[in-house]
A and B are shown apart, each in its own frame.
Chain A
């Protein structure tokens, strides 16, 4: 066990010596990998920042049926009853919002109170608010129901309150797939960069490898410094990429928060949580070691 630990310590020292021997090339490799990694990291930051917002907004999907302002007083009751009877399998709660109640609720908001006072009467219509049952085809189903109810007598407008949330969720699904593809492409870039770095190192260390074999080095002993090289390069690059992403988020957040403030909202882009970042760094290091092993196996057959 002690022997193995000493051999690992030796491999680590050899790796650091080789990295230090070619500082510019080592730094260039680090930067290439770091910049490549920072792209999916920024994408992930965007996703993890937007997803909670979408979850918060993703209230139970509702359709609001607005009646014409001159509709009969009991029309709302009739429409509610009809929906309960004919669409029981697709709907949940059906409640009526009378024009009087709507006005009272609106007046409770000081921003609207003054404006409503100057109006001669109540401009609001009666409305029926229908909660739809959840399902994958919700957006499509809601559209169909809205089109059908819009044709009913006395109905002025049918509005799907959560349509934009559905679209946002679809957009996020698309972004998640896009991010996965981007991560895959970056993994290939990392794989190729590490493979080539190790290949160049193996060729330049040909003499040392030959001598090590001559004096009884096992293949594991020969490979070990290269595996460390791959893993260390990728770990450092991953840490640099986190720094780069953090820096990039500063101007992005400044722009995003100005936009959010104009909607009276508070929104900031943030990096994924520390455990997720740690897992990502470990995964990138493992990818580097794997690529190095593949390269050293192919390039030290002499």
Chain B
């Protein structure tokens, strides 16, 4: 599903943010990406989503090599990867359901089918009663759930989320994580970057730790230990 082979990432002539990353993620895994701020967690997720190119090495996502992917083909890969960034990037000039409808409009789905799918996505994240509300009227947790609904409405094979529970209380954070777990249970490969290791430990089945100059794949360590 996702394969990194000796991937390096640096900006300009600066030092490598990510050095020699090699790992493989199978379909349906739930992975927690941990590490201190600035270690490159967000960069790693963006690279998987095709939002950042690697400086060196090869990345394969959903059967496609990203470094060989043309600019024309890249948007189609993005439709297969649901992305939730740290800043939710919701559009405040339209209703919650219109935010969720955007990826379906991009895909060119029929309006009636789009509306039904958007409603189903909002229902899955528990926002069906608030579909006509403007995102500004929603709480932080609800906005995060709305961003998740927008990311999953196109039925992506992979879901990546950057700090989805940051600044949320414990109860809301658990609600968000349950949403991710539900999607993972139906086969969506999920990668979540977070500082909250305790919370992630309850949900993720595998974890990556990124520290400056060091990458640890705990599944690989466990495998070796056994």
Which residues of A are in contact with B by a Cβ distance under 8 Å? 2-4, 6-7, 10, 21, 207-208, 210-219, 221
- Residues of B in contact (CB 8 Å), total 26
Select B106's contact among A2, A4, A21, A217, beta carbons within 8 Å. Answer: A217
Among A21, A208, A211, A213, chain B packs the most CB atoms within 10 A around the CB of A211
Residue of B nearest to A207 (CB): B91
B102 pairs with A215, CB closer than 8 A? yes
Encoded as 1 (CB less than 8 Å from any A CB) or 0, chain B from 138 to 155 comes to: 000000000000110010
B89 pairs with A207, CB closer than 8 A? yes
Encoded as 1 (CB less than 8 Å from any A CB) or 0, chain B from 107 to 128 comes to: 1111100000000000000000
A212 to B154: give the CA distance in the assembly, Å. 13
B76 pairs with A216, CB closer than 8 A? yes
Given contacts A4-B108, A6-B109, contact A212 B72 (CB under 8 A): no
A2 to B107: give the CA distance in the assembly, Å. 11
B75 pairs with A213, CB closer than 8 A? yes
A-side contacts of B85, CB under 8 Å = 214
Q: Does B69 contact A (CB under 8 A)?
A: no
A-side contacts of B107, CB under 8 Å = 3, 216
Q: Does B195 contact A (CB under 8 A)?
A: no
Among A3, A212, A215, A221, chain B packs the most CB atoms within 10 A around the CB of A215
Which residues of B are in contact with A by a Cβ distance under 8 Å? 51, 71-72, 75-79, 83, 85, 89-91, 93, 102-103, 105-111, 150-151, 154
A218 pairs with B72, CB closer than 8 A? yes
- Nearest-neighbour CB distance to chain B for A222, whole angstroms, equals 9
Residue of A nearest to B72 (CB): A218
B103 pairs with A215, CB closer than 8 A? yes
A6 to B90: give the CA distance in the assembly, Å. 23
Residue of B nearest to A13 (CB): B105
Given contacts A6-B110, A7-B105, contact A216 B75 (CB under 8 A): yes
B75 pairs with A211, CB closer than 8 A? no
B-side contacts of A211, CB under 8 Å = 89-91, 102
Select A214's contact among B77, B83, B110, B111, beta carbons within 8 Å. Answer: B83
A-side contacts of B154, CB under 8 Å = 215-216
**22 A-B contact pairs sorted by A residue (CB < 8 Å):** A2-B110, A3-B107, A3-B108, A4-B108, A6-B110, A7-B105, A10-B105, A207-B91, A208-B91, A211-B89, A213-B75, A214-B83, A214-B89, A215-B79, A215-B83, A215-B154, A216-B77, A216-B79, A216-B103, A216-B107, A216-B154, A218-B75
A-side contacts of B79, CB under 8 Å = 215-216
- Nearest-neighbour CB distance to chain A for B9, whole angstroms, equals 19
